[in-house]
């Protein structure tokens, strides 16, 4: 009870510190954070304005961050690494941990491919620098194969979906909710997943300017997001219904995704730093980043209290 009370006091302190009239511009992918926070009811008493902006993938979200069009957003570890190494002004302020089951190389239901071995020499669509790209590189490396063992075609998710559906490519390396959409609605199969191959990390990231000017709002937002994620693990069907209505997609797609994802917000600790460094090193070995960076230099660990305040729930 004491821990719960302290968590509540911390949340109240963050709310009071957040300024009425302030605006926090939040980038989201496929209704991810917005849907869970709306479903959990944590957006009812926000003392500042949240301006939500939807993006189809991490790359355009990170471009918007770099251009100063948004303050914060959710991205995978791979595109975050790609952007940070390219000099985009961005830092991770919290980690999102989940199983690797929703990161997968997909093939159509009538494809003869049953494993990555069957895709050697074949064409795989994914986004350059995305977590789908990361999965392919990590899977090839785990088998001792070079990146040239498959032919990668770099496409944004909507274009990758079209190419994959038309048979212009043999497989699609992608992430949720695209994976569950393909499985549930079209009978697609996962021939490789990220489980045991990639760190399974995403990050809530922010611009240095937002970290300086909107720190109270960011801390309050993270507390609410942590509470929403804790709620969602015990209310999969409720979350799925809200998400489905928000995105115009059958709720069973979200149930397929969320029942295996075990998504939780986490502080950026030593384990998270090690996972991010592994992604940096993978990209460096693949020649995707010219100048290797250190994970500790592209994070802000000062939001740990905000992330963990609601962990007693």
Q: What is the pLDDT of residues 48-69, one digit of tens each?
A: 999 999 998 899 999 999 999 9
Range list of H helices, 167-303: 178-186, 208-213, 215-234, 236-247, 251-261, 270-285
Q: What is the pLDDT of residue 5?
A: 40
**C-alpha torsion sign, points 281, 286, 288, 291:** positive
Q: What is the pLDDT of residue 19?
A: 65
pLDDT tens digits, residue range 100-126? 999 999 999 999 999 999 999 999 999
Q: What is the pLDDT of residue 117?
A: 96
**Residue 69 near residue 216, CB atoms below 8 Å:** no
Specify the DSSP class assigned to residue 276: H
**Residue 312 near residue 276, CB atoms below 8 Å:** no
Q: What is the CATH number of domain 2-98+200-308?
A: 3.40.190.10
In which residue ranges of the chain is pLDDT below 70?
A: 1-20, 310-313
**C-alpha torsion sign, points 170, 174, 180, 181:** negative
Edge-to-edge strand order for the sheet containing 189-193? 151-154, 123-126, 171-174, 104-107, 189-193
**Which tokens belong to 181?**
């959409």
Q: What is the pLDDT of residue 313?
A: 40
Share of the chain above pLDDT 90, in %: 80
CA angle 280, 286, 289 (to 5 degrees): 55
**Residue 205 near residue 89, CB atoms below 8 Å:** no
Q: What is the pLDDT of residue 20?
A: 67
H or E stretch at 183: helix 178-186
201-206 and 91-97 as β-strands: parallel, antiparallel, unpaired?
antiparallel
Domain residue spans in the chain? 2-98+200-308, 101-193
Domain spanning 101-193: which superfamily?
Periplasmic binding protein-like II (3.40.190.10)
Do the domains at 2-98+200-308 and 101-193 have one common CATH topology?
yes
Q: How far apart are CA 123 and CA 28, in angstroms?
A: 29
Q: How far apart are CA 113 and CA 122, in angstroms?
A: 10
Integer-rounded Cα radius of gyration of the chain? 19
3-class DSSP assignment, residue 218:
helix
User: Quick one: which of 271, 276, 263, 31 has its CA closest to 134?
Assistant: 276
């Amino acid at each position: 009870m004491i821990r719960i009370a302290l968590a509540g006091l911390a949340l109240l302190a963050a709310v009071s510190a957040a300024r009425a009239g302030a605006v926090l511009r939040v980038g989201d992918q496929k209704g991810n954070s917005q849907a869970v926070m709306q479903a959990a009811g944590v957006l009812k008493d926000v003392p500042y304005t949240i301006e939500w902006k939807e993006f189809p993938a991490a790359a355009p979200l990170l471009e918007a961050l770099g251009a100063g069009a948004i303050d914060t957003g959710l991205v995978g570890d791979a595109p975050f690494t790609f952007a940070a190494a390219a000099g985009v002004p961005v830092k991770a302020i919290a980690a999102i941990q989940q199983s690797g089951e929703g990161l997968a190389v997909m093939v159509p239901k009538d494809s003869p491919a049953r494993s990555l071995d069957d895709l050697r020499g074949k064409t795989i669509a994914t986004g350059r620098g995305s977590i789908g790209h990361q999965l392919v590189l990590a899977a090839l490396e785990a088998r001792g194969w070079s990146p040239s063992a498959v032919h990668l075609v770099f496409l944004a998710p909507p274009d990758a979906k079209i190419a994959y559906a038309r048979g212009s490519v043999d497989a699609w390396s992608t992430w949720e909710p695209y994976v569950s959409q393909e499985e549930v609605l079209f009978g697609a199969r996962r021939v490789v997943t990220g489980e045991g191959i990639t760190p399974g990390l995403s990050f809530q990231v922010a611009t240095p300017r937002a970290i300086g000017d909107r720190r109270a709002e960011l801390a309050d937002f993270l507390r609410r997001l942590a509470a929403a994620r804790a709620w969602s693990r015990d209310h999969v069907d409720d979350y799925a219904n809200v998400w489905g209505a928000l995105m115009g997609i059958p709720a069973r797609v979200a149930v397929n995704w969320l029942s295996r994802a075990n998504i939780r917000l986490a502080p950026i600790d030593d384990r998270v730093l090690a996972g991010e460094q592994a992604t940096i090193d993978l990209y460096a070995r693949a020649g995707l980043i010219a100048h290797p960076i250190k994970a500790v230099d592209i994070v802000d660990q000062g939001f740990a209290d905000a992330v963990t305040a609601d962990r007693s729930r």
